[in-house]
């Protein structure tokens, strides 16, 4: 959702609110859900009848103009409340429509088993299909990159204007349907079927956002109803008293008095509009609120950080503590975590580093950093492999190089019997020590 879509009121929303929403909401079946405004609508109908038949209830024909004026004012009050709610609802519908436009059916280049290509609609893709996406083309559906590296524009989904790098392997291999490849090409394996993509789920969430009243709104609405009923009793009881005294008082005056006695009329009419507008406001910040209650809960949050791997975290995982579940030993869990983090990403990053620094040869890089073995790994690296990473870790963690050297030395296991093997550094212990040092900073 890019920032250009965050416009408060568009021409289309305004037209729909004027032509449809504001007038359709005059339906008493809809208006009765808001008792305060329903009371005003009943009063406007009563004054309309008196405008047509001014002599009803012992009225005077000279009061016709006054009755028409009261009817018009009440109609404007109701129209304003309905219009505000229609605008708020229109924003939510527009958000879903914008997402649906991003999901427009595009052509996909599927690679057959024999290596040839065929063009078909993205909606025809199935799980497991391999597609080729070139620069300037939309990614047809959610998937994983199996070959290639490219810059991808994800602003339609994340709202971030800067393009991001996506490549096969590691933490940056997943792509989202509806985003655009800007450079090079990507071979993508489709992981979801039609209608099950991330964008489809977002659309369903926005369209299914429930208009649930918040606790504060329920309490305020109850107060408004109680006040309105008490004023209604006062006005209704006033008529027989005046008749008893022999004073002539037009019914339209009593209706106007009732509306004036409930100064909460506008507030009652705007309660639902305020709630819907709150849900839409957080949606403009790429947060989907499923109910008005969720919006109210956001009021207790001082700071919210919206991050995806690669902007703040950079995919660097530092474990502070491990909590194993029943049936799994802590040692097994630690080993599984290490294996899942080592993957082939290390080799790709090292190759990129070597390409950018031709003066450094592979012989200068410790052998265990070039290993891409997927099994039998233990959480240890050589002392040389640990020391060569000190500048990088110091820059990212803001810990001095001297302190990092001390941490590595404290977590280095000596040779077996002081003679056999090589000195090894416990990577997990070093990571935990670095995390604790960063907290102290």
User: Which has the closest alpha carbon to 126: 139, 138, 141, 116?
Assistant: 141
Compute CA 7 distance to the chain's CA centroid, rounded to the nearest angstrom.
17
Q: How far apart are CA 98 and CA 155, in angstroms?
A: 13
Which residue is listed with tokens 């059916």?
105
Burial class (CB in 10 A: 0-12, 13-18, 19+), 334: middle
Out of 114, 300, 302, 307, which one is annotated catalytic? 307
Is 307 among the residues known to form the active site? yes
CB–CB of 425/380 below 8 Å?
Answer: yes
Instruction: For the beta carbon of residue 248, count every other beta carbon within 10 angstroms.
Output: 9
What would the two tokens of residue 146 be?
Answer: 């199996």
3-state secondary structure of 420: strand
HEC assignment per residue over 122-185: HHHCCCCCEEEEECCCECCCCEEEEECEEEEECHHHHCCCCCEEEECCHHHCEECCCCEECCCE
Instruction: For the beta carbon of residue 223, count every other beta carbon within 10 angstroms.
Output: 12
Q: How far apart are CA 22 and CA 207, in angstroms?
A: 20
Q: How far apart are CA 295 and CA 331, in angstroms?
A: 43
Q: Give the catalytic positions in this structure.
A: 307
């Amino acid at each position: 959702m890019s920032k250009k879509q965050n416009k408060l009121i568009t021409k289309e929303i305004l037209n729909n609110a004027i032509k449809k929403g504001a007038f359709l909401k005059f339906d008493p079946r809809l208006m009765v859900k808001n008792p305060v405004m329903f009371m005003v609508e009943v009063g406007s109908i009563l004054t309309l009848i008196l405008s047509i038949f001014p002599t009803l209830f012992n009225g005077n024909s000279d009061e016709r103009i006054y009755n028409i004026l009261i009817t018009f004012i009440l109609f404007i009050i109701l129209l304003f409340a309905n219009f505000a709610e229609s605008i708020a609802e229109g924003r939510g519908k527009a958000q879903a429509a914008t997402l649906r436009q991003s999901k427009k059916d595009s052509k996909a280049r599927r690679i057959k088993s024999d290596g040839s290509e065929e063009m078909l609609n993205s909606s025809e893709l199935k799980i497991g299909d391999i597609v080729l996406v070139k620069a300037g083309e939309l990614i047809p559906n959610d998937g994983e990159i199996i070959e290639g590296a490219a810059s991808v524009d994800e602003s339609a989904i994340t709202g971030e204007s800067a393009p991001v790098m996506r490549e096969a392997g590691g933490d940056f291999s997943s792509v989202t349907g509806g985003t655009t490849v800007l450079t090079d090409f990507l071979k993508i394996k489709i992981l979801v079927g039609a209608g099950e993509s991330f964008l489809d789920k977002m659309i369903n969430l926005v369209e299914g956002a429930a208009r649930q009243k918040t606790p504060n709104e329920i309490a305020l609405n109850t107060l408004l109803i109680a006040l309105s009923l008490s004023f209604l009793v006062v006005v209704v009881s006033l008529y027989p008293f005046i008749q008893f005294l022999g004073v002539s008082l037009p019914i339209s005056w009593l209706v106007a008095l009732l509306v004036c006695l409930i100064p909460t009329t506008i507030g009652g009419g705007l309660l639902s509009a305020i709630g819907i507008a709150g849900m839409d406001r957080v949606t403009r910040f790429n947060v989907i609120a499923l109910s008005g209650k969720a919006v109210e809960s956001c009021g207790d949050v001082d700071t919210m950080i919206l991050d995806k791997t690669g902007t703040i975290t950079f995919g660097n995982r530092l474990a502070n503590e491990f909590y194993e579940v029943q049936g799994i030993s802590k040692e097994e869990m630690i080993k599984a975590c290490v294996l899942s983090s080592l993957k082939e990403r290390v080799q790709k990053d090292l190759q990129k580093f070597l390409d950018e620094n031709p003066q450094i040869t592979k012989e200068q890089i410790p052998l265990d950093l070039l290993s891409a073995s997927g099994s039998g790994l233990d959480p240890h690296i050589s002392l040389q492999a640990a020391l060569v990473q000190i500048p990088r870790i110091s820059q990212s963690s803001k810990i001095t190089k001297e302190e990092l050297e001390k941490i590595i030395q404290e977590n280095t296991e000596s040779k077996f019997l002081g003679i056999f093997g090589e000195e090894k550094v416990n990577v997990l212990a070093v990571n935990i020590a670095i995390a604790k040092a960063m907290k102290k900073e």
